[in-house]
Chains A and B, each alone.
Chain A
Amino acid sequence: MAADKSTKEKLLSVLNDIEVLSRELIEMLALSRNQKLPQPGEDTQLLELLVQRDKEFQELMRTALRQGRTHEEMQKLEKEVDKRDGDIQLLQKQLKEAEHILATAVYQAKEKLKSIEKARKGSVSSEEIIKYAHRISASNAVCAPLNWVPGDPRRPYPTDLEMRSGMLGHMCNLPTNGVNGHLPGDALAAGRLPDVLAPQYPWQSADVAMAMPPPPHHGNDLGLELPGHNKENEDDVEAMSTDSSSSSSDSD
């Protein structure tokens, strides 16, 4: 148990001992001097005890001084530990941020892989797309022939019948046999019409049909008003036929 006592407690205890012993020794000496009775045994014993306690006290003081220096070192070490703790916490924070970023990146990458896989499953070869492009442009359905002039029966745009047969026409529930009749050149094109509109390719789904924009001059009045015979529309047709950009080039 004595070993568990702090140095301070030990020092104070020894100091108290020294105080008591010195007082007793002085009192004893004073008493013996007044009574003129020498008591050599007792005062010698007290003196020895006092010398022993004094040595003990000095030893404890040396220990206390060493402990003071150790205490300073410990304070420095504690500061260093605190600093390292701060560094580690900062690092932990950075690692957590990195983990979050990586988790997001992994999630996005997985999503991308899923889309790639999906695209692979429904893959379409470029040759087929080109073939289809040729097929729809052969009937002059998307672009007028180069040498087209007004009055030419070959059409520079889809006919009313073709529009009605398409996806947009079906969405509006329009009858396939238009009430407005055909344009002058439609009769020629009518024979080729099934080839154009028939769903012979796997990608001819609703998505493809939806993605195809309606011809510009049909606009919002789809199926309700058939432009075609008046002069104004003939001018439009002329403008379309001279347009160098064709929709067939978009299908690449």
Chain B
Amino acid sequence: MAAPVSVVEDAEDYSFLPLIHDIIKCMDKDNQDVHQELNKLRTRIQDTREQIVAMPGIDLSADVQQQKLHTLREQVRTKNQLLQKTSEKRQTEQARKVNRVRRMETKWT
């Protein structure tokens, strides 16, 4: 199994123009390294393809992903509100019960 390909943060590193430029320069100078440069470009393209396949979260378009994120945030907010409301009600009920018991105790004493 291939090791996970690390995602380079700087998107500038993904430009292929410097490599192509090197190849053209080698061709201009009739340099024998042109084949090596061509191999470099091929390998780079292949590596980039593998990286793209392994990148997380890009199976959706950016817009759709944003919509899903919004929906999830809404869900969490709603559920939090519901739970908070219930716990508040519980606390109020508990306080009311305690007050009632205290009142009865005072009445009896």
Contact = CB atoms under 8 A, between A and B. Distances in A.
A77 B73 contact: yes
B86 A91 contact: yes
Interface residues of A: mostly helix, strand, loop or mixed?
helix
A87 B84 CA distance: 11
B3 interface: no
B15 A84 contact: no
Tell me the interface secondary structure of chain B in the complex. helix
Interface residues of B, number: 42
Given A15-B52, A64-B55, A81 B76 contact: yes
Given A8-B52, A8-B53, A65 B11 contact: yes
A152 B61 CA distance: 114
Size bin of chain A's contact surface? 35 or more
B14 to A, nearest CB: 5
A6 interface: yes
A97 interface: no
Contacts of B55: 8, 64, 68
A59 B12 CA distance: 9
B4 interface: no
A12 interface: yes
A108 interface: no
16 contacts: A3-B61, A6-B60, A7-B62, A8-B58, A12-B49, A51-B17, A57-B16, A62-B11, A64-B52, A66-B62, A67-B58, A68-B57, A74-B65, A77-B69, A84-B76, A91-B83
